[in-house]
């Protein structure tokens, strides 16, 4: 009698609390996963609902060190330079490909695409130039309409470019810059 009513009242009180605890543990899990992938504070603040102080503590716990200070430069230039562009394009192609398949939440799509990018890079035996935080930034630039993909007129591959690239765009693989030596070009990443 009193036990049941007590149970009911507890249930009423704890229900929303349980929900928020669940949500919080999900947020912590997500933050820890992102830290493990090398995400910087900007990413964590953007992709979780945890407070800055909370994230700092979690970062120290998971990474075993304080997060690096300073913001990433807010510029699209990095993604447009030669080898960086090839890596960025590989990642973005994987990311866009995943968006056509199963319905993934934005963070899952990002982390999945990044893991696949790293796999490709390891198979090609080259250094991964694109960090997880850069990959996140790239997606933000694309979402904001500051970068897009353009088809190379020569090889037909899709490459990260500025929005209004001309129709006869040639990618960095088909037309490597003069500074790229033959040996370097051979060791670099191919997209097709
Ligand atoms: Zn090309």
Measure the CA–CA gap between 163 and 65, rounded to whole angstroms.
39
Residues 175, 104: one domain? yes
The whole-number pLDDT of residue 2 equals 43
Is the predicted pLDDT of residue 6 greater than 70, yes or no? no
Paired tokens of 104: 């993934």
> Is 131 flagged in the annotation as binding?
no
Residues 53, 85: one domain? no
Residues 48, 108: one domain? no
Residues 96, 45: one domain? no
pLDDT-derived band at 178, boundaries 50, 70, 90: confident
DSSP three-state, residue 149: strand
**Ion ligand 1, residue ranges at CB < 5 A:** 152, 154-155, 171, 174
What CATH number is associated with residue 103? Answer: 1.10.10
> Is 92 flagged in the annotation as binding?
no
The whole-number pLDDT of residue 10 equals 46
Paired tokens of 165: 């690239």
Q: For residue range 121-133, what is the model confidence (pLDDT) as tens digits? A: 999 999 999 999 9
> Ligand 1 centroid to 172 CA: how many Å?
7
> Is 133 flagged in the annotation as binding?
no
> Ligand 1 centroid to 170 CA: how many Å?
5
The answer to whether the beta carbons of residues 34 and 43 sit under 8 Å apart is yes
What's the whole-number mean pLDDT along residues 169-184?
78
pTM of the model: 0.82
Q: Which structural domain range is residue 20 located in?
A: 2-63
Q: For residue range 41-100, what is the model confidence (pLDDT) as tens digits? A: 999 999 999 999 999 999 999 999 999 887 777 789 999 999 999 999 999 999 999 988
> Ligand 1 centroid to 174 CA: how many Å?
4
What's the whole-number mean pLDDT along residues 12-20?
60
Instruction: Name the residue among 20, 23, 27, 17 with its Cα closest to residue 58.
Output: 27
> Is 171 flagged in the annotation as binding?
yes
Task: Pick left, alpha or beta for residue 55 (phi over 0 → left; psi -120 to 50 → alpha; otherwise beta).
Answer: alpha
Task: Tell me how many domains the chain contains.
Answer: 2
């Amino acid at each position: 009698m009193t036990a049941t009513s007590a149970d009911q009242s507890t249930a009423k009180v704890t229900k929303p609390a349980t929900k928020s605890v669940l949500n919080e543990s999900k947020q912590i899990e997500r933050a820890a996963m992102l830290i493990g992938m090398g995400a910087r504070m900007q990413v964590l603040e953007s992709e979780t609902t945890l407070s800055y102080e909370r994230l700092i503590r979690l970062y120290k716990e998971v990474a075993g060190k304080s997060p690096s200070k300073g913001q990433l430069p807010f510029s699209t230039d990095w993604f447009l330079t030669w080898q960086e562009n090839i890596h960025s394009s590989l990642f973005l192609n994987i990311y866009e490909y995943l968006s056509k398949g199963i319905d993934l939440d934005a963070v899952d799509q990002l982390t999945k695409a990044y893991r696949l990018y790293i796999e490709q890079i390891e198979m090609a035996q080259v250094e991964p130039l694109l960090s997880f935080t850069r990959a996140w930034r790239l997606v933000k630039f694309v979402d904001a309409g500051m970068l897009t993909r353009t088809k190379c007129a020569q090889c037909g591959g899709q490459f990260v470019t500025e929005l209004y690239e001309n129709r006869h765009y040639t990618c960095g693989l088909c037309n490597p810059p003069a500074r790229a030596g033959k040996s370097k070009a051979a060791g670099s990443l191919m997209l097709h």
